[in-house]
């Protein structure tokens, strides 16, 4: 069996990487992996050989599909942004549809599904719909049905990205934490707040002139966090803010300029985010998929989305499993409760412990492939 796999965004690559690793072990599978921009980093970090494409255009993907002639395509999912109006995964899927080749897409989070599988024009609704779509949970399936997706193509499998979290959590030791803190030059005793940044402005715009605008950007989120964290009652051992930049943010110079007002801020780019989560005391992001990772790794997790005017994309926020903040005024009291209030901390842990995900996602998707 020949399989062509493709991903652009890090979340897309992370969602299919465990499946690719299993397929690599099958002598009956001939595998070709395509990566565009930041997905290449993810695949390389996981020991997956990939071919980097210079353009995600439909013409390029048709050419690649014709040269490989796969029996199936396996893709993650990514959204177009202001830099690229063409999406690798979409064009791979469309190229295979043109050639009558089977296709399977894995959706990594609860998302705006119609947008993921549609073009930018009104007459392009569901233009990039594959034969099968693997989703994280039943809620995702229900949302897709409400958006008009055909029920027969939707399969609840879970997200393969989360399959190994239990073993990662159980194998993480105090020595590991000490080693990571030393590498980061952060005291073991410091209260470490990990902020996971995202290229929100690139993907959703900076104001209401963009119909996708969320009501905030990464700059809004980070500037509010910096301002309020200085007004928050500090833990006795001191507080350090560590910013993990997104692979698509480059050097994140705009964030670094904002951080000049808070000297206890550190930045880090390439580093295993799960290791950072395990070494931290509190995790904050807007709506990064890694908030699910941090919850499953038993870390207090805050979803900071000040001024949100769209539907919340973090499914755990309404349940209080992750803590949502939608206004600037909520930040200080929420931080202080999370850092200092032991009763509140216990309540959060109970909610985190209640969070269950579909298990064996990798195998579930392999079953779809081999079916």
> Does the residue 345 lie in any domain?
no
- The answer on 134 and 177 residing in a single domain is no
Same domain, 193 and 264: yes
| Helix (H) / strand (E) containing 12 | helix 10-24
In order of 94, 193, 222, the CA distances from 242 in angstroms are 41, 6, 12
Q: Could you tell me if residue 347 is inside a domain?
A: no
Confirm whether 153 is domain-assigned.
Answer: yes
Are residues 210 and 84 part of one domain? no
Does some domain include residue 308?
Answer: yes
Residue 350 lies in a domain: no
In this predicted structure, what is the pLDDT of residue 3? 98
Q: What is the pLDDT of residue 135?
A: 95
Same domain, 120 and 241: no
Based on the domain organization, do 137 and 233 belong to the same domain?
A: no
Give the structural domain span for 109: 2-162+358-370
What's the order of all strands across the beta sheet hosting 239-244?
265-268, 239-244, 191-196, 282-285, 301-304, 323-325
Q: Is 41 helix (H, G, I), strand (E, B) or coil?
A: helix
For residue 337, CA distances in Å to 191, 222, 234, 272, 334 come to 14, 20, 12, 28, 5
The candidate with the shortest Cα–Cα distance to 88, out of 36, 12, 145, 158, is: 36
Question: Does residue 250 lie in a domain region?
Answer: yes
DSSP state of 129: -
Is the predicted pLDDT of residue 111 greater than 70, yes or no?
A: no
Of 65, 84, 82, 74, whose CA–CA distance to 107 is shortest?
Answer: 74
Rounded Cα distance between 208 and 135, Å, is 30
H helices of 27-164, where?
Answer: 38-45, 58-68, 88-98, 113-116, 138-146
Average pLDDT of the residues in 129-136: 96
Rounded to whole angstroms, how far apart are CA atoms 177 and 158? 29
Provide the pLDDT for residue 109: 75
Task: Identify whether residues 154 and 297 lie together within a single domain.
Answer: no
**Tell me, what CATH number does 188's domain have?**
3.40.50.2000
How far is residue 313's CA from residue 107's CA, in Å, rounded to a whole number? 13
Q: Are residues 260 and 181 in the same domain?
A: yes
CB 283 within 8 A of CB 300: yes
Tell me: pLDDT of 167 over 90.
Answer: yes
Look at residue 173 and tell me if it is in a domain. Answer: yes
Residues 217 and 154 in one domain: no
Assigned token pair, 182: 């030393």
Q: How many independent structural domains does the chain possess? A: 2
Does pLDDT of 83 surpass 90? no
The answer on pLDDT for 82 being more than 80 is no
Q: pTM of the entire structure?
A: 0.86
User: What are the pLDDT digits (tens) for 22-54?
Assistant: 999 999 999 999 999 989 999 999 999 999 999
The residue with tokens 């998302």 is: 111
- Beta-strand ranges (E) seen in the chain are 2-7, 30-35, 51-52, 72-75, 102-106, 132-135, 154-156, 191-196, 239-244, 265-268, 282-285, 301-304, 323-325
Which residues have a Cβ under 8 Å from the Cβ of 71 and sit 6 or more positions away? Answer: 1, 2, 3, 101, 102
Residue 112 has pLDDT above 80, yes or no: no
Query: What is the average pLDDT across 140-150?
Result: 93
Query: Do 132 and 116 belong to one domain?
Result: yes
Q: Looking at the structure, tell me whether residues 172 and 305 fall in a common domain.
A: yes
Residues 175, 137 share a domain = no
Q: Are residues 155 and 175 in the same domain?
A: no
362 occurs within a structural domain: yes
> How high is the pLDDT of residue 195?
97
- Contact predicate 252/245, CB 8 Å: yes
CA dist list (Å): 335 to 232, 266, 277, 328: 7, 19, 17, 12
Q: What is the pLDDT of residues 281-332, one digit of tens each?
A: 999 999 998 999 999 999 999 999 999 999 898 989 999 999 999 999 999 9
């Amino acid at each position: 069996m020949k399989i062509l796999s493709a991903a652009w965004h890090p979340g897309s690559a992370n969602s299919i990487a465990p499946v690719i690793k299993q397929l690599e072990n099958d002598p009956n599978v001939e595998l070709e992996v395509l990566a565009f921009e930041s997905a290449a980093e993810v695949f390389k970090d996981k020991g997956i050989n990939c071919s980097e494409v210079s353009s995600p255009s439909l013409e390029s993907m048709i050419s690649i599909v014709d040269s490989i002639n796969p029996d199936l395509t396996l893709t993650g999912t990514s959204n177009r942004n202001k830099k690229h109006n063409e999406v690798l995964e979409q064009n791979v899927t469309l190229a295979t549809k043109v050639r009558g080749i089977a296709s399977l897409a894995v959706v990594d989070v609860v998302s705006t599904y119609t947008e993921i599988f549609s073009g930018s024009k009104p007459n392009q609704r569901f233009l990039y719909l594959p034969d099968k779509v693997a989703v994280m949970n039943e809620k995702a399936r229900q949302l897709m049905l409400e958006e008009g997706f055909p029920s027969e193509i939707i399969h609840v499998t879970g997200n393969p990205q989360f399959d190994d979290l239990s073993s990662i959590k159980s194998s993480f030791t105090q020595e590991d934490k000490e080693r990571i803190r030393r590498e980061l030059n952060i005291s073991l005793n410091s209260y470490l707040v990990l902020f996971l940044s995202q290229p929100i402005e690139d993907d959703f715009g900076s104001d209401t002139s963009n119909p996708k605008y969320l009501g905030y950007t990464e700059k809004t989120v980070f500037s509010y966090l910096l301002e309020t964290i200085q007004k928050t009652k500090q833990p006795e051992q001191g507080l350090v803010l560590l910013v993990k930049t997104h692979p698509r943010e480059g050097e994140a110079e705009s964030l670094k300029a904002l951080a000049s007002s808070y000297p206890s801020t550190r930045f880090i780019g390439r580093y295993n985010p799960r290791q950072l989560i395990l070494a931290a005391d509190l995790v904050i992001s807007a709506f990064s998929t890694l908030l699910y990772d941090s919850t499953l790794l038993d870390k207090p997790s805050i979803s900071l989305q000040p001024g949100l005017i769209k539907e919340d994309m973090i499914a755990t926020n309404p349940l209080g499993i992750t803590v949502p903040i939608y206004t600037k005024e909520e930040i200080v009291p929420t931080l202080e409760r999370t850092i200092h209030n032991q009763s509140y901390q216990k309540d959060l842990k109970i909610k985190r412990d209640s969070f269950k995900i579909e298990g064996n996602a990798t195998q579930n998707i392999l079953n779809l492939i081999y079916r």
